Structure 1
């Protein structure tokens, strides 16, 4: 909330942020205008990174979620679209076979270098 100041009083004004959509590939938020530019580039980057992974860590290509994004009043249901995209992005994570934490496959390789099983008491 921003404050608007006049000589005699200070009254709060609401700052409206533009609506955002979550990328179904990487899970980051983008504006409604830029998501269509981002997604093809993100998918290309995803393919490049996936091809560099060992065969056991390679994943199938993420599919864009099929969500009914138009409500009865003709508006986009951004909440449903965001939720489906977030779920899709989270499904790309791979669990560590030692501690169970989830990572993107390229980060899992780095994590596993230092992950040690807990010592038995």
Structure 2
């Protein structure tokens, strides 16, 4: 049987990448995030996400599960809540959603 290759969660977009490609993805993802954030209306702009600290297990090895959880939580903090329905979105998608949202939270 083939063992699944380990993946790493991007703290910016929340997607999973292989351990070899995450180092290429993160700088590009952060650059894209900055451009998109700068193009948003001022009230939707967010603080730049910060990469979580490395978490180690009792054996001194990187705790992949804890790292994935920390990256996912950081990603969720970049989302913006719709004031009408309470759902969360990337800010550029919130603008589109709000045009059609009719539900009250």
The TM-score bracket by the shorter chain reads: over 0.9
Aligned residues: 104
Which stretches of structure 1, 4 residues or longer, exceed 3 Å deviation after superposition? none
Larger Rg: 1
Counterpart pick for 1:58 among 28, 36, 45: 45
Match runs of 1:40-79 below 5 Å: 40-68=27-55, 70-79=56-65
* Counterparts of 1:34 and 1:94, CA distance in 2: 28
CA contact (8 A) 2:54 2:62 kept: no
- Structure 2-normalised TM-score? 0.92
What is the root-mean-square deviation of aligned Cα atoms in Å?
Answer: 1.3
Q: State the shift of 1:71 in Å.
A: 3.1
- Structure 1-normalised TM-score? 0.81
Specify which structure has the higher proportion of strand: 1
Match runs of 1:27-42 below 5 Å: 27-42=14-29
Q: Which runs of 5+ in 2 are unaligned?
A: none
**1:55-75: CA deviation from partner (whole Å, max 9, x where unpaired):** 00000000001132x334343
Q: Which runs of 5+ in 1 are unaligned?
A: 1-13
